[in-house]
Amino acid sequence: MDSVTVTRHSQVTIPKEIREAVGITKGDKVKMKVVEGNKIVIEKADEEVWKDCTDFLPVDFEKLLTSLRTDSRNRFKRLGLVP
């Protein structure tokens, strides 16, 4: 197990051997979580997971969003919360 030093800005450097083993390169995102009380797990974030998630919103989403905003404004006006 490699040992690293925490800087005054709470930063750590992932050792080269570990970065190369999991394919972490400059600009990559990583996820961190605490497990078993005092252990920290760092894993490379899978940004590819969102590339196929393009068709989950309705086709007329912008129109729906505009309608919701208008409805909210009207409700706030009726309640006297906005002029």
How many folded domains does the chain comprise?
Answer: 2
Q: Using a cut of 0.75, tell me whether the model's pTM lies above it.
A: no
Whether residues 4 and 39 share a domain: the answer is: yes
Whether residues 62 and 31 share a domain: the answer is: no
Are 52 and 46 in contact, with CB atoms under 8 Å apart?
Answer: no
Residue 8's domain is classified under what CATH number?
2.10.260.10
Quote the distance between the C-alpha of residue 30 and its chain's center: 10
Whether residues 12 and 40 share a domain: the answer is: yes
Backbone torsions φ then ψ of 73, nearest 5 degrees = -60, -45
Whether residues 41 and 64 share a domain: the answer is: no
Whether residues 9 and 37 share a domain: the answer is: yes
Predicted confidence pLDDT, tens digits, the chain (83 residues): 888 999 999 999 999 999 999 999 999 999 999 999 899 999 988 877 666 666 777 788 888 888 888 888 888 988 989 87
Which residues constitute the domain of residue 34? Answer: 1-45
